[in-house]
Every structure is written in structure tokens, then in C-alpha cells.
Amino acid sequence: MLYLLKNLYSRRFLDRYEKRKGELSPVGLILCTESSREQVELLEMHKDGIVVAEYWTELPPKKELERKIHNILIEARERIERKKLLE
């Protein structure tokens, strides 16, 4: 959780003291080698403008990569549909 507090502090500092007129607020990005979608969703970091992304240090076998990409596509489509329902 320390990474979350550091990210939030840095963004708020930049927003208050470094942001120039006309600039948007800074965005936080946390890169993880592994992430639990459920944990990320429960923390609701997106509400504070913090994005969590997973990265791979090496590519998985082709079939596993295809499965992961397919699952990411399904999740993205579901998020888009949920967002449409809220509008």
C-alpha cells in the first residue's frame, strides 16, 4: 500500500505546486508484474486517477498469450457496456 500513498502524494503535490494554467491534473500509473483485478477494483484507485497495469517480464506460450488477450478484450467490452448503462 505504500506505493499507493507515494503515488497519490506525488500527484497531489504536482497538482498543487507544479501544474501550469491550462494543464490537466497528473495521472498516476502503477506497473505490476502480477495483479489481481479484484484487489485493484476493491481499492477503487481509478477514482483518484491512478491506473494499475500488469506487465510481463517474458512472453507466455502462444496459446496462453492468445487466451490472455482474448480475456482482456472481453473485459474491455464489458467495461464499455457498463459505462454505457451508467450514462
Q: Nearest Cα to 8, choosing from 39, 71, 52, 54?
A: 52
Question: 75 CB contacts (<8 Å, ≥6 apart)?
Answer: 37
d(CA 46, CA 33): 19
pLDDT value at position 64?
92
pTM: 0.47
Every domain of the chain and the residues it spans: 1-55, 58-87
Torsions phi, psi of 76, nearest 5?
-65, -45
Contacts with 82 (C-beta within 8 Å, 6 or more apart), sequence order: none
pLDDT at 23: 92
pLDDT for res 72: 86
pLDDT of residue 62: 93
Q: Give the pLDDT means over successive 10-residue stretches in the chain (87 positions).
A: 77 90 84 64 69 78 92 89 82
